[in-house]
Amino acid sequence: MTDIPALVLGGTGYVAGELLRLLAAHPDLQLAGVMSDSQAGTPVATVFPHLQHSVGKLRFSDREALLSMLNGERMALFSAAPHGASAALVARFIEQAEQTNTALTVVDVSADFRYPSAAAYSAVYGTEHGAPQLLNDFASALPEHLATTDRAHIGHPGCFATALLMAALPLTKLQLVSGDLYASGITGSTGSGRTPVAGTHHPQRHSNLYAYKPLAHRHAPEVTGICAALTGHRPVLHFVPHSGPFARGIHMTMQGRLHAPQTSDELLGRLQSFYEGCEFVSVREGTPRIKDVVGSNYCHIGAVTDADSFTVMVVIDNLLKGAAGGAVQWMNRQLGLAETAGLETPALPWT
């Protein structure tokens, strides 16, 4: 057991709550501190009652208290701070780590380190980047798609981006596609965050299904940029996201034309070979279902063809494989731990 201290920034949201849950049971990472300036001094279990038996008397700390914990040890830092705020916050912790000779490894689950340049980030989010000097220190990809990296830190792709990349990247890298990619995704209400808004209000969301930001979702350029960086080809992606009547999970359907006709079994075989050795990805016959992965870090993929057209279906838990679980998976790898450490809990199919 290694017991590397781990800190979490932006500690009161849904993704942060899942990070805390995973870290509380992790065999090698020890939850040492959680930052929330607005909740400083409040017991973590007050905000997350389901963690009361896991986090004990741990309380939220302000930024200065967490900075003082950087004292020359090897440490892990997860940032679940909001887009636009995370970059400057992470920069301050990296600066403090350098001053205290702390070997700090960062995994950021905001959008702030998913783009290769400040201009690319600003084009999507409409604001200046908070720490452009750090962009070259971060890699952004799914761990299944980037075997090794010499970058010190990781910017984890978004939840929709994770589901999209699970289909788009192998299709692009294996040169299976002729023409554009078309995708339709459905996400649960937790994807909108913890702060109540009209789109997460129960009477509006329950027994309802609707599209939002069709062909204009900000995860689309993120996906095509990562595909371009890892495959040398930038696909054209037409993506329509939907809000679904459930709390967590993403179901993604991607369609397009094949470069050459092949059977469903042949396409499944190509995808199975691509993901061979990936512990958290299962390419299987039939149509994947959200309830088979919710509450877990697993991803299920199905595929069918009809002459020269294809459909690839992906299901993940948006808060885990699409955020907190993927972040822990990356941290495990960056620290030389078993990639599956703390992440092998099975799904909760009857929730």
Which position has the token pair 């702060």?
195
- Say whether 159 is catalytic: yes
DSSP-assigned states of every residue in 69-128 = T-SSSEEEEEE-PPTTTHHHHHHHHHHHHHHTT-EEEEEE-SSTTSSSSHHHHHHHHSS-
Q: Cα(31)–Cα(200) distance, rounded to whole angstroms?
A: 30
For residue 19, which of 290, 258, 248, 329 has the smallest C-alpha distance? Answer: 329
For residue 320, which of 278, 276, 280 has the smallest C-alpha distance? Answer: 280
Residue 94 structure tokens: 């990296």
Q: Cα(57)–Cα(40) distance, rounded to whole angstroms?
A: 13
What order of strands is seen across the sheet that includes strand 250-258?
A: 210-211, 237-243, 177-187, 250-258, 309-316, 299-306, 281-283
For residue 86, which of 327, 300, 311 has the smallest C-alpha distance? Answer: 327
Half-sphere exposure of 108 (CA within 13 A, CB side): 31
Residue 297 structure tokens: 């870090």
Q: Which amino acid is at 113?
A: F
Q: Judge whether 185 and 210 are in contact, CB under 8 Å.
A: no
Q: Cα(272)–Cα(260) distance, rounded to whole angstroms?
A: 18
Neighbours of 204 (CB within 10 A): 15
What residues act catalytically?
159
